[in-house]
Structure 1
Amino acid sequence: MSTTLPVVLIVDDEIRSLETLRRTLEEAFEVFTAASTDEALAILQNEFIHVVISDQRMPDMTGVAFLKLVRERWPEVARIILSGYADNADIIAAINEAGIYQYLLKPWRPDALLLTVQGAARLATLQRENELLNVELKAGEPWMRSRVAAKRQQASDAFAMHSIVRAANSPLNRICALLTKVAVHDIAVLIEGESGVGKELLARALHYASHRAQRPFVGENCAALPEQLLESVLFGHKRGAFTGAYQDHVGLFQQADGGTIFLDEIGETSPAFQAKLLRVLQEGEIRPVGSSRSLRVDVRVVSATNRTLADLVQQGRFREDLYYRLSPFAVLTPPLRERPEDIPLIALDLLERMRDSFGLPDALFSPATLVCLQNYRWPGNVRQLKNEIQRMLALADAPVLGPELLSPQVLHAGDESQQQELAFLGSVRGDLKERLDQLESQIIRETLTRHRWNKTRAASELGLSRVGLRNKLVRYGLEPKA
């Protein structure tokens, strides 16, 4: 349920350089590193890589020779080479022999590197999509058409709303039902919720439940890129538009034409970028950076934020007109602590996906471990749960994952929670009715605080009408004074 990032492999025999590149790219990409070409080839054999970045001068073979080998075995992977020498012969050899996407000179600039790798990742994705399209166009035989249709259906099923892991009585069921209903209507959707709750997973499911399911779904984390780079990634740019723009770049809006674009962490964007995005949504047109011509695009926008956009509007930090453009339909995704019934199922699903890579194909949780996992509040949501399971697998010496493998805060969460509950109940005074009133007042206050005093959402969670909630607020003296 974490955000799906392009995968980059960096190859460099200098460890310091390797780490610098990794730190520069790791927020926007999933990054693998290799200190030798042999190590890199092993990673390519076992992982789905979009982009390979190689240093030119390495002891076992040159970067050009290595990337030529990559081109022969994995032609769909985009290739970038780094060199400290501006030798025209090297550049020509790199382009001609290894089909290099870009030749970057050292010292490289972080923003130029990010932009280049973003473009390479998009190219790799488009090449894979084109290969599939070519297969479809050549599929004259009925059996081939059936095979292609089956592959498409398999991809659609993998991201379908019913494939989202949750319990039969999960609070997430209501969110999925609402998104399924709105999916058939071509309107923008805003998904709010804490980091790690699976907002991108819901956005993908929305896309595959819509009439745009056979067209691209593309996404970008708006908080991961500087403003100029984000504008280029989304809208594209023309060659020479700025330093480092060595060729035209097709932006995500154009790549998503006919499909869906997912803008994650939209609340982190600057006012200047918000103004440009508003124009795109109003006009249905994009203008690549450095271009004098606008391009028409037909894209459904699904945005997400871990903040409350309405509050940012009140604070003057987010444009009100853009907010209303993005949120004809808005949903709030509940955090993991509000759906404890989902935790065992999600944990089991994550374990099944990860155990083979740790050499423990038969790994399973003990019943006591599942109880501990369910008792913890998971402030980092599914992302934190995944990290905890990875930790357990790394420490395990046997297939059964017992509570002793859990980190201390997770292991003792149940005890602490029970002690806090007993302490709170012991502090409540009065007869049974008075105590129940105090508990109800506390529950209402906590729910309103969590929903930032949005009474519609709080009433919905509590199973009350707005009038019923208002009466209780008056009864318990919780209505804020004007």
Structure 2
Amino acid sequence: MTTEHTVIVVSADEALIAQCQQGLAKSEDYRVVVCADDKEAARRLDSMQVHLLIYDVPAGTDAANNLVTSARLSHPQVARIVLGAQDAHALAAQVARNAAAFLFVLKPVFCEQVELTAKRALELNELSRRHRVLSRELKISVDDNIFDEAEQSSLKGGVSQFERLVYVSPAMAELVAEAKQAAATDLPVLIFGETGTGKELLARAIHYNSGRMDTPLYVQNCGGMSQDMLHSELFGHVRGAFTGAVADRLGLFRAADGGTVFLDELTEISPSFQVSLLRFLQEGEVKPLGSDKMYHANVRVLAAYNRPLAELVEKGEFRRDLYYRLKGFELHIPALRERPEDIPVLTDFFIEKYAGVVGRRVVGVTKDVIAKLRAYQFPGNVRELEAEIRRMVALAEQGGYISRRHLPRNIADVSVEPPAGDGAYAIEGDTLKEMVESLEKRVVMETLTRHRWNQSKAADELGLSRVGLANKIKRYNLQDVA
């Protein structure tokens, strides 16, 4: 394995945790995240790109209702290993069966055993993924070329992920590269993007790739909240500070001490609250509402906004000193309409995600559906695309394709312009023979390019033998320039 794999270990057994960490620490290919209970592990599964789940069955667990069993449907791409105590082997075995686990192991386990088991589970999971992709592509290849061939990138390594962010576009690749640089520091980060572009996903990815990965991450939306309520949520309050304050409240800044707080809709905070936030960023001071006592907290702040913050600073609506204090890194997530090349891979990602949730096998997406999705402007960005794919997965037939009839009216009615180069060819030559040869050369070259120079597929489409195609490649001196 040449890439980093994230392994979540769900256990309260210190000896088991030590063996897992020691076994997986032998290779730089693993990132180990330890979770004490199902609730914490579920948050990590939803926030991180997880490859393997090692689940230590607690005593008294419901064999049909637990994290590893639900992960079978909610996160089918995650490999699962179940561990159990000797005196509760029957319960652990039932959990393993319900979860369709790769392996069921009784404790105690040793670091060498963990290392080998994890490696084999991930290898089998990757083989299963490739089998699914190849099965879909082989079925597509006999369906009269009505399906797009973008799925091939899943085997060729063209699709990238940064935790839960999926992309192929250069714009997103550049953003992720900068985000990884930001994650390696402890500086605050500003994230700008339209609604639905994935600002919170990017913030979570930064946190889980930082040195604070094992510490809490708390999220607070600042929109639509009064100054006192927001101050209470972040800084806390003491009993009697205001009407309804019947008990002390710690506040997110103190609760996240050593960790990260993500503030969404930053531009909605009031001028007076901006002063409090600036003071916290400068000195780490936390003063709860109604208290005379000052506390301190070490918290990294990530903040997101969807209105041009620099313009608000120039207008005097946002404090300049606070803006520069928050601007350790400033990241801009492009709107989905600015990167339509990401739509096919996001579509595949959401199909795999929701097909497991609703218990439905969807083979693929027709070519005209992808064309319609790429032409649609998506004012709600990735969030809107995800909602549409989830709905279409629920409507699709078992073992069938998502086709045009599953599209909502607003997307189905979008006009799709034919790709450049379709239709008439520019024919060169003075004689009929030269013009025919010019046309033949163009058709053969475009067919080879479309099939990524797979000569068997190109020959089948052109109605030629492989030898016949090879002769034309030689005759016209065609070369793969990719």
Q: TM bucket by the smaller chain?
A: 0.5 to 0.7
SS in 2 for 1:211: coil
Is it true that 1:277 corresponds to 2:277 in the alignment?
yes
Letter in structure 1 aligned against 2:403:
G
Give runs of aligned pairs for residues 165-176 of structure 1, distance below 5 A: 165-176=165-176
Give runs of aligned pairs for residues 379-390 of structure 1, distance below 5 A: 379-390=379-390
Give runs of aligned pairs for residues 62-461 of structure 1, distance below 5 A: 162-362=162-362, 364-398=364-398, 399-415=400-416
Q: 1:391 to 1:340 in 2, by over 3 A?
A: same
Letter in structure 1 aligned against 2:408:
S
**1:275-300 deviation digits (Å, cap 9, x = unpaired):** 11111111111111121111110111
CA contact (8 A) 1:161 1:202 kept: no
Letter in structure 2 aligned against 1:290:
G
Letter in structure 2 aligned against 1:210:
S
CA contact (8 A) 2:264 2:304 kept: yes
Mean Cα displacement is larger for which, 220-229 or 202-211?
A: 220-229
SS in 1 for 2:304: strand
Q: 1:218 to 1:142 in 2, by over 3 A?
A: farther
Query: Higher helix proportion, which one?
Result: 1
Alignment length (residue pairs): 281
Which blocks of at least 5 consecutive residues in structure 2 are unaligned? 1-41, 44-63, 67-106, 123-159, 420-482
Distance 1:285 1:250 in 2: 14
Alpha-carbon offset, residue 352 of structure 1: 1.6
Distance 1:407 1:168 in 2: 26
Alpha-carbon offset, residue 182 of structure 1: 2.4
**1:377-409 deviation digits (Å, cap 9, x = unpaired):** 211101111221233234434532111111122
Which blocks of at least 5 consecutive residues in structure 1 are unaligned? 1-47, 50-72, 76-139, 155-159, 420-482
Distance 2:165 2:292 in 1: 47
SS in 2 for 1:347: helix
Alpha-carbon offset, residue 202 of structure 1: 1.1
Bigger CA radius of gyration: 2
Distance 2:113 2:277 in 1: 40
Q: TM-score, normalised by structure 1?
A: 0.53
Letter in structure 2 aligned against 1:329:
F
Q: 1:232 to 1:349 in 2, by over 3 A?
A: same
SS in 2 for 1:213: coil
Q: 1:183 to 1:347 in 2, by over 3 A?
A: same
CA contact (8 A) 1:161 1:176 kept: no
Alpha-carbon offset, residue 248 of structure 1: 1.5
Q: 1:259 to 1:141 in 2, by over 3 A?
A: farther
SS in 1 for 2:316: coil
Distance 2:251 2:414 in 1: 46
- 2:153 aligned residue: none
Identity score, percent: 42
* Alpha-carbon RMSD: 3.6
Letter in structure 2 aligned against 1:198:
G
Alpha-carbon offset, residue 145 of structure 1: 13
Distance 1:381 1:296 in 2: 39
**1:447-474 deviation digits (Å, cap 9, x = unpaired):** xxxxxxxxxxxxxxxxxxxxxxxxxxxx
Alpha-carbon offset, residue 340 of structure 1: 0.9
CA contact (8 A) 1:171 1:339 kept: yes
Alpha-carbon offset, residue 376 of structure 1: 1.3
Alpha-carbon offset, residue 351 of structure 1: 1.8
Distance 2:367 2:193 in 1: 30
Distance 1:326 1:165 in 2: 23
Distance 1:288 1:246 in 2: 14
Q: 1:271 to 1:142 in 2, by over 3 A?
A: farther
Letter in structure 1 aligned against 2:261:
I
CA contact (8 A) 2:194 2:306 kept: yes
Q: 1:142 to 1:360 in 2, by over 3 A?
A: closer
Distance 2:179 2:302 in 1: 11
CA contact (8 A) 2:190 2:327 kept: yes
**1:30-75 deviation digits (Å, cap 9, x = unpaired):** xxxxxxxxxxxxxxxxxx79xxxxxxxxxxxxxxxxxxxxxxx999
Alpha-carbon offset, residue 233 of structure 1: 1.0
